[in-house]
Amino acid sequence: MFAGPSPVDLAPAPGARNPVLTYRDVTDAPAIFVADPFMVHHDDGLWYMFLEVMSDLEYKADIALAVSPNGLDWKYEGIVLSEPFSLSYSYVFRWQDDYYMLPEMYEQNYLRLYRADPFPRRWRPVATFLEDAPIADASIFPWQGHWYILACPHPAAHDALRLFCAPNPTGPWKEHPKSPIVTGDPRRARPGGRVVEWSQGKRGKSLVRFAQDCFPRYGTGLRAFEITHLTPSEYEEQQVERSPIRRPDPGEWNGRAMHHVDAHCLPDGTWLAVADGHDHPSYA
């Protein structure tokens, strides 16, 4: 767990015993790692985290749940979404008083949107779209009356970023006229967490997208880009000055790699975030 004054200025959260979850906490699968955590803060006052659990039986991943009363102390609750294929990047969000999840399933060449029924332990598919190619780490978000998805079409090369637009999360989704946003650059293409709104005083609100720095290898760090202009026909961004905002911390639990952050603005204006990482040489 990380905390800080902004989504791009994060340090280990005071009071958190990092790492707050590892594969050793998984009780219902022979896990070899956990990754890609996404959180929501529910009306009941609890934090709910959805994360990838990779099993060594078939090297297949499912989506699991952990719960926290304060965002710092977490308890693993079990797998809540499993398919015959691997799932990861469990991007969970709220829309019209329901919770939805858009997990990665790039081996299937499409995206499938799920709705909680009921939240948080049962998830039902409600829409399938973008059925033309593999899509990794799809990041869905609303902005000024429209919905957008940023996603990587080259999950092996990590070097491209496509943009899609729709009137609502279920579609119909169409490729944005400015897509692809990035080509041939593994340092800033592949999404690395939730797209967030960031209020910067007189500058007003903007969006921040996080990108995995995959050069010279996967997990090198995390960069941030401010989306300065976004409409159904236009897109502009600039790298945040503090970027890269996080790198692996030598000698720590995330000493060899990290590539994901999910940041949330708290009522007092500070930020709480969850990030993944590892220090195991087998996954370097």
Distant-in-sequence, close-in-space partners of 10: CB < 8 Å, separation ≥ 6: 2, 3, 4, 245, 246, 261, 263, 271, 273, 275
Spatial distance between the Cα atoms of 197 and 230, rounded to a whole number of angstroms: 13
3-state secondary structure of 24: helix
CB–CB of 148/164 below 8 Å?
A: yes
Find residue 150's DSSP bridge partners: 139, 163
What 8-state DSSP symbol labels residue 13? P
Residue 212 · residue 192 · CB < 8 Å = yes
Residue found under tokens 């905390």: 3
Predicted local distance difference test score (pLDDT) of residue 199: 86
CA dihedral 246, 143, 91, 254 (to 10 degrees): 0
The per-residue pLDDT for 242 is: 87
pLDDT attached to residue 282: 62
Q: What is the pLDDT of residue 107?
A: 87
What string of DSSP letters covers 28-90?
A: SS-EEEEEEEEEEE-TTS-EEEEEEEEETTTTEEEEEEEEESSSSS-EEEEEEE--SS--EEE
Distances (CA, A) of 220 to 58, 97, 187, 214, 260: 27, 37, 9, 6, 11
- How does pLDDT run across 181-240, given as a tens digit for each residue? 999 999 999 999 999 999 886 778 899 999 999 999 888 999 999 999 999 999 999 999
**In this structure, are residues 34 and 50 in contact, taking their beta carbons and an 8 Å threshold?**
no
Distance CA 186, CA 154 (A): 10
| Region class of 36: left (phi > 0), else alpha (psi between -120 and 50), else beta | left
Q: What is the Cα–Cα distance from 263 to 195, expressed in whole angstroms?
A: 9
- Per-residue pLDDT band at 156 (split at 50, 70, 90): confident
Q: 170: which 2 tokens?
A: 């279920």
Residue pLDDT, tens place only, 62-71: 999 999 999 9
Segments forming the whole domain that contains residue 110? 2-283
Reported confidence tier of residue 284, pLDDT bands at 50, 70, 90: very low
Cα 24 from chain centroid (whole Å): 22
Per-residue pLDDT tens for 223-240? 999 999 999 999 999 999
Domain count within the chain: 1
- pLDDT tens, residue by residue, 162-180: 999 999 999 999 999 999 9
With a cut of 50, say whether residue 264 has pLDDT above it. yes
222: amino acid identity, one letter: L
In DSSP terms, 142 is beta-bridged to 147
Query: Given its phi and psi angles, is residue 42 left (phi above 0), alpha (psi -120 to 50 degrees) or beta?
Result: beta
Identify how many contiguous H helices and E strands the chain contains and give both numbers: 0, 20
How would residue 54 be classed by pLDDT, with cut points 50, 70 and 90?
A: very high
Weakest mean pLDDT among 47-51, 157-161, 264-268, 277-281: 277-281
Rounded-to-integer distance, Cα 267 and Cα 252, Å: 30
* Amino acid, single-letter form, for residue 253: W
Tokens found for residue 240? 């945040």
Average pLDDT value over all residues in the chain: 95
d(CA 222, CA 213): 5
User: The CATH number of the domain where 251 resides is what?
Assistant: 2.115.10.20
Residue pLDDT, tens place only, 110-150:
999 999 999 999 999 999 999 987 899 999 999 999 999 99
